[in-house]
Amino acid sequence: MRISELSSVFGFECIQDSYEDVELHDGYTSDLLSDVMAKAAQDAVLITIQAHKNTVAVASLVGIRAIVLCNARPILDDMIEVAKAEGIALFRTDRNQFQVSGLLYPAIHGKAG
């Protein structure tokens, strides 16, 4: 699936839309940034509640292309600015991390499980 499908198919609110609409090959769900650094794949979507600019720094360093912020967390302006500069897409949803992971898994990996 492409990044833009996060809003066109799944209805997540796009908060930062200056990004290259590439194919997502994987996803990672975590609120621990060191865990994200160690384990997340490249060209992945990150599912998290960490709505601050350090999350963007970590995403940029490991090659994450899009971040979905769960539980309708308020997103700070400086996070949006940094994401724009790095070309990382930001989305927000009122769903939680478990629900978003479940939704995206089949779309990225073909079938659940």
Partner 1 sequence: MESVPIDTDGGPQVVLELIYRLKVRDVMTTDVVSLPPTATLREAQIIMRDRGITGVPIVENERLVGIVSIGDIIEALDGGWIADAAAKRMTEAVIVLEADMPINFAITYLNRYGYRRFPALDKDGQLVGIVTAADIIRALLVEMNREVERLEEGLSRRRRTAEPGAGISGGSSSNVDPSMPGATDGGLASEVADPPADLVFQSRKFDFETAGKASGGLKKALKVLGVEPMTIRRAAVASYELEMNQVIHSDGGSMSFHFGAGTIEIIAADQGPGIPDLDAALTEGFSTANEWIRSLGFGAGLGLPNARRSSDEFSLDSAQGRGTTVRALIRY
Could you tell me the smallest distance in angstroms from the CB atom of residue 113 to partner 1? Answer: 27
In the bound state with partner 1, the residue whose beta carbon lies nearer, of 57 and 107, is 57
In the bound state with partner 1, the residue whose beta carbon lies nearer, of 35 and 106, is 35
Could you tell me the smallest distance in angstroms from the CB atom of residue 106 to partner 1? Answer: 27
Could you tell me the smallest distance in angstroms from the CB atom of residue 54 to partner 1? Answer: 6
In the bound state with partner 1, the residue whose beta carbon lies nearer, of 41 and 107, is 41
For residues 36 and 46, the answer to whether their CB atoms sit within 8 Å is yes
For residue 28, the cross-strand partners are 46
In the bound state with partner 1, the residue whose beta carbon lies nearer, of 58 and 104, is 58
**Helix then strand then coil, % of the chain, to nearest 5:** 40, 20, 40
Could you tell me the smallest distance in angstroms from the CB atom of residue 19 to partner 1? Answer: 18
d(CA 6, CA 29) in angstroms, rounded, equals 15
Footprint of partner 1 (CB under 8 A): 31-35, 37-38, 42, 48, 50, 52-55, 57-58, 60-63, 76-78
d(CA 22, CA 51) in angstroms, rounded, equals 23
Phi/psi of residue 49, nearest 5 degrees: -115, 5
d(CA 90, CA 94) in angstroms, rounded, equals 14
